[in-house]
Structure 1
Amino acid sequence: MTDSPSTLSSAADQDGIRYVSGAVPAADDVRALYDSVQWSAYTQDMDTLMGGLQGSAAVVTAFDGGRLVGLARVVSDGHTIAYLQDILVAPGHQRRGIASELLRRVFAPFGQVRQHVLITDTEQRQRAFYESHGFRESRDVEGGELRAFVRVTPQGG
């Protein structure tokens, strides 16, 4: 990662999950994790995915033994916005607090940044997860009329 606000660190939690900040895992491990959650659109072009991970402002991974079971990454200017690009946990490790810990750790270097943002699908479980961590849908933010826009371009276009 270039100019990352996080430094390489590693720590295990009470369940034996080891969290690593500041390092991008091997491409084969990344592919296996993304494919396990059906994010295979990302793995169609591993060079682009790995370049995105390397260029992220922060990457935090979770390992169970030697297996990559979770990953979160933030894209940020380090001052005004921190965008959660990816957070994923292998199906057999979900609902164990790993995503919550990844979210906490990946945003830790950006405590001074006013806007923490993300885009996700409309699944109710995801809304509940993000709201439990202080996120609100833009239409629900008090004191402001916010509207979020997105433009998705075709791969390579």
Structure 2
Amino acid sequence: MSIQYIESSVYEEEQIKALYDNVKWTAYTDDIPKLVKAIEHSLAVITAWDNNKLIGLIRVVGDGYTIIYVQDILVLEEYQNQGIGSELMQRILYKYHDVRQKVLLTNDAPDVRAFYEKNGFHSCDNEGLVAFAKMKE
């Protein structure tokens, strides 16, 4: 298997929908045109491909100078635990290595926490920081 990583701004709705549906992020796929617009307006998007099949994606928002926010990182279930997510993350972290604040918000599960800690992130509750979020009701 030879995975290709591409920074791009061209996306096919069907492949985007298949990827997000596969990882059960259906809140996004309820409105595919909105999701595609969100991806297109991201600061950066790096995708992972197995031949012509979209298997992973990371996207960040922010200003790219003082802060980036990792909005989405996802890999098809059948390709998980093969280092693809870490490779996507490392490519983004390299691209924005000079940015002071690299932030993300995710669910608190042991495997999720382990993934982000492995990639150099620290939980705010362990660093004397506090994080707040207001979600649409």
The interval holding the TM-score normalised by the smaller chain is: over 0.9
RMSD: 1.0
Secondary structure (helix, strand or coil) at the match of 2:71 reads strand
What fraction of aligned residue pairs are identical, expressed as a percent?
A: 43
Q: Paired residue for 1:66? A: 52
The number of residue pairs the alignment matches comes to 137
Does 1:88 find its partner at 2:74? yes
Secondary structure (helix, strand or coil) at the match of 2:42 reads coil
Q: Paired residue for 2:95? A: 109
Q: Distance in 2 between matches of 1:137 and 1:153?
A: 23
Question: Cα–Cα, structure 1 residues 23 and 84, in superposed 2: closer, same or farther, change >3 Å?
Answer: same
Q: Is the 8 A contact 1:24 1:53 kept in 2?
A: no
Q: Paired residue for 1:146? A: 129
Q: Is the 8 A contact 1:75 1:84 kept in 2?
A: yes
TM-score scaled to structure 1, two decimals?
Answer: 0.84
Equivalent residues in 2 for 1:1-150 (5 A)? 15-141=1-127, 145-150=128-133
Gaps of 5+ in 1: 1-14
Question: Cα–Cα, structure 1 residues 104 and 24, in superposed 2: closer, same or farther, change >3 Å?
Answer: farther
Letter paired with 2:113? R
Letter paired with 2:102? H
Q: Is the 8 A contact 1:74 1:107 kept in 2?
A: no
Q: Quick check: which one's helix share is greater?
A: 2
**1:77 Cα deviation from its structure 2 partner:** 0.5
Bigger Rg, structure 1 or 2: 1
TM-score scaled to structure 2, two decimals?
Answer: 0.96
